[in-house]
Chain A
């Protein structure tokens, strides 16, 4: 069974204080690892897809990296507008049906204090 564990559950940072969020996964036949950002009352907003170990993607103050067992979302000099819940999901091949469903972690709720 595919599993995704995110840590920490919640993180409070001062504005400008860099940190990292962790996503550990267990999956057979990884197709891709996805990061999403979710604001309260809204649907998840796509950030990155990583496909293979060693891959890195960057967008503004965010950088996502991938190893064979985990992914990190690094936040550099965060601003209050970066406050949100960050979700990690893995996409694995469902060999029985050829489907590519996402298995999500519970998320990390990030609060950036001015």
Chain B
């Protein structure tokens, strides 16, 4: 059974640009969540989706947004990129809220 797949794995963007990251959950999983990981702050929750509805959102500015499609695939978007947005962005899926969460390999974003 394939795991959580994230694309792209690595990308470099310039300040002020926007970026879209994609996530395909484990087959049959309907809950997708996103986390940002940095050396200083560790893993921080961005948002969670279930059945195309945002269930919860972390303490991040409105430049960070996401959505989930009917096939459970999810995207997150960061607009007006800042240097501080450089991080590993992790997508995770589960069978539903409250079930074990499995992570993808992440998308490494570098903002220059």
Contact = CB atoms under 8 A, between A and B. Distances in A.
A97 B98 contact: no
5 contacts: A43-B106, A44-B103, A46-B103, A98-B97, A104-B35
Contact of B42 (A99, A101, A106): A106
Interface in A32-47: 32, 34, 36, 42-46
A106 B40 CA distance: 9
A10 to B, nearest CB: 13
A79 B87 CA distance: 30
Contacts of A89: 43
A27 to B, nearest CB: 14
B56 interface: yes
Contacts, number: 56
Contact of B43 (A87, A91, A94): A87
Nearest to A89: B43
Nearest to A104: B43
B45 interface: yes
A44 B98 contact: no
A98 B35 CA distance: 18
Contacts of A49: 100
